[in-house]
């Protein structure tokens, strides 16, 4: 009898070791400038996104998820490092050469590589154009995409093969020729990589440029959606391509062991986009700037079709993924993100973040539970009770001086160990932001966006 027990015990130990050894693949899909409302499952009436809707039904849907900045580059710096990018001065957008993300920061790709992962970036980088900032030296084995923040969706021989053009599509440092629509090609590269690495744990950062401008949709997507709206076509095309990636994971029998993240890097900004019911837009500190749709799929490890309503951050993606890969979250430059898995499964006490902080040059804000405070230099404060006023229409700063003082003090305390920004965006954009915040503080309505 004793012998049998031992045999069973041995077998179960082996089985459990082999399950532990199978590290989950991580697929991080990032949309660019996607409006909060512009997905089927988020409430869009005219943009159809059947593949993301289906994924959402199988995932944890975060209803109060935030990126760390309302614009592209600093948002990606927070995502890639799992840290507030204000710790390393990365506040302004579009760093001009030679500026870029601090190379002493560790990226999520580097951390996963250390766990034995094959790593690839397909698409937009936007964290520096110089050689020492290049994705291949920042943790990615493979890079097929653009260094910069935006580009045309179609190949142009004249500009794309010009020497050292950071908007060109490059493969590991060399500009390449390609054809068709960029969203399709980024997806092809992702599928090829999955096919080639199905035996390895892999980390793929699929960083679409869609639906960021220029609004150049594939004709077939406009036709399929029955619209002339190129923004809607870009979202639809991205969804169609996400469907292709998921089909490939299914065909390779990898859906049981792949974590899929989906989110946008910031809110919508073009007039065709909708951030409803949120107020504000890309570039502003209102919720429409930095609150984004976010999904986490991990079969059997997190619930399918669950809404998680606490505050979470894009910084948590690094921590959650590295922990899932068997890595440690202790590092020389400490993470601000948290491992979300135990919170989602009610295995951890409390909530991941009591407060989240945002600062971009002269604008800053703070989420503290359902409260939101915004500070704009040379303008003043906005204070909103999101429980009653999700659109940030009624500024309570004058009516509630005690709440304002409490949150001002919290923001000030958070700022104590943050750096001064290393670069700015210039006077022109400062004026635009000042005007946008002023109008909404005073009237509650930002024309065209709520
Ligand atoms: Ca963006």
User: DSSP string of 86-145?
Assistant: GGGT--SSSPPTT-BS-TTSPPHHHHHHHTT-EEEEEEE--SB-SGGGSGGGTT-SEEEE
pLDDT at residue 7, rounded to an integer: 43
pLDDT at residue 5, rounded to an integer: 43
- Residue 419 DSSP class: P
Query: Separation of 212 CA from ligand 1 center, angstroms?
Result: 7
Cβ-proximal residues to 196 (8 Å cutoff; 6+ apart), any chain: none
Phi, psi of 145 (to 5 degrees): 170, -160
- Residue 255 DSSP class: G
The residue whose two tokens read 């990898």 is 254
pLDDT at residue 415, rounded to an integer: 98
Query: Separation of 69 CA from ligand 1 center, angstroms?
Result: 10
Pair (332, 368) in one structural domain: no
Question: Residue 120, by phi and psi: left (phi above 0), alpha (psi -120 to 50) or beta?
Answer: beta
Is 60 exceeded by the pLDDT of residue 12? no
Q: Per-residue confidence at 96, pLDDT binned at 50, 70, 90?
A: confident
Q: At what angle do helices 316-324 and 72-81 cross, to 10 degrees?
A: 30
Q: Per-residue confidence at 14, pLDDT binned at 50, 70, 90?
A: very low
Last residue of one domain, picked from the residues 286, 314, 344: 344
140 exposure class (CB count in 10 Å sphere: 0-12, 13-18, 19+): buried
Q: Is residue 206 within 8 Å of 122, Cβ to Cβ?
A: yes
Tally the domains of the chain: 2
Among the listed residues 127, 81, 123, 83, the one whose alpha carbon sits nearest the alpha carbon of residue 101:
127
Out of 72, 212, 290, 437, pick the active-site residue. 72
Q: In 10 A of CB 128, how many CB atoms?
A: 25
Last residue of one domain, picked from the residues 300, 318, 344: 344
**Is 16 inside a domain boundary?**
no
**Is 110 inside a domain boundary?**
yes
Pair (276, 368) in one structural domain: no
pLDDT at residue 152, rounded to an integer: 98
The mean pLDDT of 312-318, rounded to a whole number, is 99
Instruction: Please list the residues that pair with 375 across neighbouring strands.
Output: 364, 381
**Is 54 inside a domain boundary?**
yes
The residue whose two tokens read 């900004």 is 269
Is 90 exceeded by the pLDDT of residue 16? no
Q: Per-residue confidence at 94, pLDDT binned at 50, 70, 90?
A: confident
Last residue of one domain, picked from the residues 296, 314, 344: 344
Is 60 exceeded by the pLDDT of residue 103? yes
Query: Separation of 170 CA from ligand 1 center, angstroms?
Result: 20
Give the β-pairing of 118-124 and 60-66: unpaired
Pair (336, 361) in one structural domain: no
Please give the C-alpha separations between residue 342 and each of 212, 311, 338, 339, in angstroms, as whole numbers.
34, 15, 10, 7
Is 80 exceeded by the pLDDT of residue 365? yes
- Residue 69 DSSP class: -
Structure tokens given for 205? 């950062």
Query: Separation of 421 CA from ligand 1 center, angstroms?
Result: 19
Q: Is residue 246 within 8 Å of 58, Cβ to Cβ?
A: no
Instruction: Please list the residues that pair with 374 across neighbouring strands.
Output: 365, 382
**Is 176 inside a domain boundary?**
yes
Pair (383, 241) in one structural domain: no
Out of 51, 90, 126, 437, pick the active-site residue. 126
Q: Per-residue confidence at 447, pLDDT binned at 50, 70, 90?
A: confident
Structure tokens given for 296? 């986490």
Residue 412 maps to which CATH number?
3.30.1120.10
Q: Per-residue confidence at 95, pLDDT binned at 50, 70, 90?
A: confident
**Is 7 inside a domain boundary?**
no
pLDDT 10s digits, 279-298: 999 999 999 999 999 999 99
Average pLDDT of the residues of the chain: 95
Query: Separation of 93 CA from ligand 1 center, angstroms?
Result: 10
Pair (336, 385) in one structural domain: no
Query: Separation of 402 CA from ligand 1 center, angstroms?
Result: 35
pLDDT 10s digits, 198-242: 999 999 999 999 999 999 999 999 999 999 999 999 999 999 999
> What is the span of the domain harbouring residue 76?
24-344
Query: Separation of 437 CA from ligand 1 center, angstroms?
Result: 19
Query: Catalytic: 126?
Result: yes
340-360 b/e (C-beta count within 10 Å ≥ 16 → b): bbebbeeeeeeebbeebbbbb
End-to-end Cα separation, the chain, in angstroms: 72
Q: Is residue 129 within 8 Å of 153, Cβ to Cβ?
A: no
Q: Is residue 139 within 8 Å of 113, Cβ to Cβ?
A: yes
Pair (149, 221) in one structural domain: yes
Pair (238, 387) in one structural domain: no
The mean pLDDT of 166-178, rounded to a whole number, is 98
Query: Separation of 116 CA from ligand 1 center, angstroms?
Result: 30
Pair (332, 359) in one structural domain: no
Q: Per-residue confidence at 2, pLDDT binned at 50, 70, 90?
A: very low
Pair (338, 373) in one structural domain: no
**Is 448 inside a domain boundary?**
no
Residue 255 maps to which CATH number?
3.40.720.10
Is 70 exceeded by the pLDDT of residue 82? yes
Query: Separation of 288 CA from ligand 1 center, angstroms?
Result: 12
**Is 80 inside a domain boundary?**
yes
The mean pLDDT of 369-385, rounded to a whole number, is 98
Phi, psi of 356 (to 5 degrees): -130, 140
Phi, psi of 306 (to 5 degrees): -110, 135
Pair (381, 439) in one structural domain: yes
**Is 282 inside a domain boundary?**
yes
Give the β-pairing of 258-264 and 60-66: unpaired
Pair (296, 413) in one structural domain: no
Phi, psi of 444 (to 5 degrees): 85, -15
Pair (137, 278) in one structural domain: yes
Is 50 exceeded by the pLDDT of residue 192? yes
pLDDT at residue 149, rounded to an integer: 96
Query: Catalytic: 434?
Result: no
Query: Separation of 71 CA from ligand 1 center, angstroms?
Result: 5
Query: Separation of 262 CA from ligand 1 center, angstroms?
Result: 14
Handedness of CA 281, 59, 311, 86 (dihedral sign): negative
pLDDT at residue 21, rounded to an integer: 63
Phi, psi of 120 (to 5 degrees): -145, 145
pLDDT 10s digits, 232-273: 999 999 999 999 999 999 999 999 999 999 999 999 999 999
Is 70 exceeded by the pLDDT of residue 143? yes
């Amino acid at each position: 009898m004793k012998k049998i027990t031992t045999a069973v015990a041995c077998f179960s130990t082996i089985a459990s070791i082999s399950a532990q050894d199978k590290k989950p693949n991580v697929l991080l899909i990032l949309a660019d400038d996607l409006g909060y409302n512009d997905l089927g499952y988020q409430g869009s009436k005219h943009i159809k996104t059947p593949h993301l809707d289906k994924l959402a039904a199988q995932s944890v849907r975060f209803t109060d998820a935030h990126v760390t900045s309302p614009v592209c580059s600093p948002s990606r710096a927070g995502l890639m490092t799992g840290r507030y990018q204000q710790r390393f001065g990365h506040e302004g957008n579009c760093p001009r050469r030679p500026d870029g993300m601090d190379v002493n920061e560790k990226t999520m790709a580097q951390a996963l590589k250390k766990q034995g992962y094959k790593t690839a970036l397909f698409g937009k980088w936007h964290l520096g154009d110089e050689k020492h900032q290049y994705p291949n030296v920042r943790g990615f084995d493979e890079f097929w995409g653009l260094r910069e923040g935006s580009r045309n969706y179609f190949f142009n021989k004249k500009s794309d093969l010009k020497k050292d053009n950071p908007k060109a599509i490059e493969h590991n440092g060399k500009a390449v020729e390609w054809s068709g629509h960029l969203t399709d090609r980024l997806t092809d590269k992702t599928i090829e990589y999955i096919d080639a690495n199905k035996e390895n744990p892999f980390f793929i950062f699929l960083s679409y440029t869609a639906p960021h401008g220029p609004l150049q949709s594939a004709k077939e997507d406009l036709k399929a959606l029955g619209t002339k709206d190129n923004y809607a076509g870009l979202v639809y095309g991205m969804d169609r391509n996400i469907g292709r990636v998921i089909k490939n994971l299914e065909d390779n029998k990898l859906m049981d062991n792949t974590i899929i993240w989906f989110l946008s890097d910031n809110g919508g900004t073009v007039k065709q986009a909708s951030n409803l019911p949120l107020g504000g837009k890309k570039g502003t500190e209102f919720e429409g700037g930095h609150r984004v749709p976010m999904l986490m799929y991990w079969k059997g490890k997190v619930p399918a079709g669950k809404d998680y309503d606490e505050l979470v951050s894009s910084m948590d993606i690094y921590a959650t993924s590295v922990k899932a890969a068997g890595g440690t979250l202790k590092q020389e430059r400490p993470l601000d993100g948290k491992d979300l898995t135990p919170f989602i499964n009610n295995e951890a006490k409390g909530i991941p973040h009591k407060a989240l902080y945002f600062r971009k040059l002269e604008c800053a804000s703070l989420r503290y539970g359902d409260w939101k405070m915004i500070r704009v230099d040379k303008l003043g404060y906005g204070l909103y009770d999101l429980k009653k006023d999700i659109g940030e229409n009624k500024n309570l700063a004058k009516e509630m001086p005690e709440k304002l003082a409490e949150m001002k003090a919290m923001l000030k305390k958070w700022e104590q160990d943050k750096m001064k920004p290393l670069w700015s965006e210039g006077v022109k954009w400062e004026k635009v932001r000042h005007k946008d915040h002023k109008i909404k503080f005073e009237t509650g309505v930002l024309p065209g966006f709520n």
